[in-house]
């Protein structure tokens, strides 16, 4: 049972932190298991505890009518693991409901590498941008090109970009995209005027570079 438990949890740790991760087991005490262990991994030169586990005490199984069974249990500190995986410095960050924090973890591929970015305490400014794609060349257009363009102009002042609407005109056949851009500065409150000026630059560059027609 000990071998099965440790092998399973080491494989879990490898899937999260990489197959070359160094690990070690520490004898520990937990009230419902015996023997009990903690699993530590070596990260950035330091040993970090990521879970506790052990063989379930048999008297507990007896009391619930499962005396003919044997089992093991483990407990994960999900926030502790997430802090290490995503470089989140403060556990209190997990209490945030700010979209600037939550949207960093909304990805298409669960294996995508994420590095946490600090979220500003200043209020955001949100502007939408709608345009027609170049007619007859819709297959060549990629939203990623638009995202790269916006980042190149707005830099760190662009916190989020989302495609919020897409439709095809029933008569003309033209395809329209609408993107929502959230602007926010880490250290100061942006005025709507300066955001509008930045937004206009993005619009002009979209027209010149991507060949779209602003709506």
pLDDT tens-place string over residues 150-178: 999 988 888 888 899 998 888 888 999 99
Write out pLDDT tens, residues 60-87.
999 989 888 899 999 988 888 888 888 8
101: which residues sit within 8 A by CB, 6+ positions away? 93, 119
Write out pLDDT tens, residues 110-157.
777 888 887 777 788 899 999 999 888 878 888 889 999 999 998 888
Question: Peptide bond before 35: cis, by omega within 30 degrees of 0?
Answer: yes
Within this chain, do residues 63 and 26 fall inside the same structural domain, yes or no? yes
Within this chain, do residues 60 and 84 fall inside the same structural domain, yes or no? no
- The domain containing residue 154 runs over which residues? 125-214
Helix (H, G, I), strand (E, B) or coil at 142: coil
- CATH number for the domain that contains residue 129: 3.30.70.380
Backbone angles phi and psi of 46, in degrees to 5: -125, 145
Give the total number of structural domains in the chain: 3
């Amino acid at each position: 049972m000990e071998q099965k438990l440790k092998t399973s949890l080491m494989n879990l740790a490898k899937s999260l932190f990489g197959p070359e991760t160094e690990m070690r087991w520490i004898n520990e005490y937990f009230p419902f298991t015996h023997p009990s262990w903690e699993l530590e991994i070596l990260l950035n030169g330091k040993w970090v505890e990521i879970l506790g586990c052990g063989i379930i005490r048999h008297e507990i199984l007896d009391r619930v009518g499962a005396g003919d069974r044997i089992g093991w249990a483990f407990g994960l500190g999900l926030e502790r693991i997430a802090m290490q995986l995503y470089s989140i410095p403060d556990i209190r960050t997990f209490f945030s409901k700010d979209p600037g924090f939550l949207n960093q973890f909304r990805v298409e591929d669960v294996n995508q590498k994420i590095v946490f970015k600090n979220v500003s305490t200043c209020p955001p400014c949100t502007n939408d941008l709608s345009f027609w794609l170049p007619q007859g060349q819709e297959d060549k257009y990629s939203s990623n090109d638009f995202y790269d363009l916006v980042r190149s102009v707005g830099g760190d002042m662009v916190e989020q970009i989302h495609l919020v609407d897409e439709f095809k005109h029933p008569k003309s056949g033209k395809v329209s995209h609408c993107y929502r851009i959230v602007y926010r500065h880490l250290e100061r409150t942006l005025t709507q005027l300066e955001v509008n000026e930045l937004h206009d630059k993005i619009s002009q560059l979209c027209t010149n570079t991507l060949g779209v027609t602003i709506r």
